[in-house]
A = this chain, B = another copy of it.
Amino acid sequence: MKIALAQLNYHIGNFESNTEKIIKHIAEARTNGADLVVFGELCVCGYPSRDFLEFNEFIELCKTSAKKIAEACKGIACIIGLPTANTSAQGKDLYNSAYFIENGKVKAIVNKALLPNYDIFDEYRYFEPSTEFNCIEFKGKRIALTICEDLWNNFENPLYITRPMDTLILQEPDLMINIAASPFSYKHDVERIEILSDNASRYQLPLFYVNNVGAQTELIFDGGSLVIDNTGKLIDEMPYFEEAIAYYDFEDKDAVTYKHHSTLRIEKQSEIDQIHKAIILGIRDYFYKSGFKQAILGLSGGIDSAVVCALAAEALGSENVMAVLLPSIYSSDHSIKDAEDLVKNLGCMYEIIPIKEVTAAFEITLKPQFNNLPFNIAEENIQSRSRAVILMAMCNKFGYILLNTSNKSEAAVGYGTLYGDMCGGISVIGDVYKTQVFELARHINMDKEIIPINSIIKPPSAELRPNQKDTDSLPEYDVLDQIIALYVEGRYASEAIIKKGFDEKTVKKVIRLINISEHKRFQTPPILRVSPKAFGVGRRMPIVGKYLS
């Protein structure tokens, strides 16, 4: 039989466009002679639909869409994902389901058993885990159909007490199909191939794996659907970060072939290259799916805003990016020149809006209260917040969306001004460490100098007081980033980090800064997630807690 895998970009709750897209690809697959076309997890409503799933009307609309899809599915079979009602009296109200539709009829329903409920996942919030497992007969073959996490129960340290394939294998299936919504991180593609290959070789069955693609606010789904043979060998890998459909001929357990030019990646992709592509998709989908076209950002002459500006220009077109230089009396001449050079290199729109009259007005206005107290963080933050007011005024007047330019290192230690440089509709590099921002800048400059080299090599500075440097209050970024990663991603105790050779005082200071900045991070924009542990929805910390702070 000929199996088509369709990895598509869905829009949460946009039933019209999702349904239309699925039906169009069913037609295309039929035209190309496919017997079965497979779509990704919860493709009907988009993933993650979050608490929309608690609205009965939303579930009804899923059902209506599935009916339309079934009607269009004539002369071919398809697999789609959608939430369905749990009609038993007990347990959660919904299942995370897959419909196997053949010739206009729903022939089988499979419910997900293993519900991820960690990091960014909240599936047990909505779904009851399935306890029944049955293969699907189709064209004389038996399909073991599972949904995403169902194949992810680690064999050495299982997170769940059941494993659907252990039951399904007893029914002697001929092949496995898994539909997924597996979000990107720069470590995840390798892990995914490993665990899926492990499944294929253990059960000695070929595996067809379809992932979604596209960004849903902070979560980026990278596609990269896979076909693995019954020895665990990866035989095809669909493109990453773009929609695609591909066709495979399944004859028997040990006979899967295809005719197209494979997109199997020969070598491991660099993390920076992956991050780059992920962020481009993240920006693009954020704007496209929320119905906006144009971005604005403040350009300081530093590396963070330069990188964000270059990424935005690539994602949205430079004609859709407005860069604003907002010099203060503390801005250095080279910063203005570096920012202007960048704008020229990119060809985006730009404005220069000095903030000195505004900050002077704040100082005069607050003189009776401040009463000649010495310059401190209050005056520093006034500058940062004045810039935010101006950028947001531009948004309100002209319809731009403000891009946040904070990096992960700053976000971690609270080195940023709430309601100042921490503003924005979406945080573009909030999951990219400062050391990675440097790499990203060099990566962007690979073919020609887009980001002025001076922005890359000069010492980072917030330029909120004379001769300020980031290292005045923070350790060097190569040290800082390692400590943050060990604590935030590795959840190491401070003693264990110190044992790795870091200075005790520095480690304790950094961890304390991380823990006392939760109130700031709570109010920051959604952050495009590229790492296994990003700030935001996947990391939930108490604010008034008193642990290591």
Residues of A within 8 A of B (CB): 11-14, 17, 46, 48-52, 54-58, 89-92, 117-118, 122, 124-125, 157-161, 216-217, 285-286, 289-290, 351, 353-355, 357-358, 360-362, 364-366, 368-370, 373, 376-379, 381-382, 385-386, 388-390, 392-394, 396-397, 418-419, 423, 425, 491, 493-495, 519, 522-526, 537, 539-549
Contacts and interface: CB of A to CB of B under 8 A. Distances in A.
A357 B366 contact: no
B13 A547 contact: yes
B522 A543 contact: no
B358 A52 contact: no
A278 to B, nearest CB: 16
B351 A355 contact: no
A341 to B, nearest CB: 22
A90 B160 contact: yes
B382 A366 contact: no
Contact of A48 (B122, B377, B425, B542): B542
Nearest to A358: B361
A546 B378 CA distance: 40
A160 B158 CA distance: 22
A84 to B, nearest CB: 18
B373 A491 contact: no
Contacts of A55: 491, 493, 547
A217 B376 CA distance: 28
A397 B376 contact: yes
A393 B366 contact: yes
A334 B58 CA distance: 47
A50 B441 CA distance: 36
24 contacts: A11-B546, A13-B545, A13-B546, A49-B545, A50-B541, A50-B542, A52-B542, A56-B493, A90-B161, A117-B117, A117-B122, A289-B546, A378-B393, A378-B394, A381-B392, A385-B385, A385-B389, A389-B389, A389-B419, A392-B418, A418-B423, A522-B526, A523-B523, A526-B543
Given A366-B393, A385-B392, A519-B425, A546 B14 contact: yes
A361 B357 CA distance: 6
B160 A216 contact: no
Contact of A397 (B92, B370, B544): B370
A148 to B, nearest CB: 17
A46 B545 contact: yes
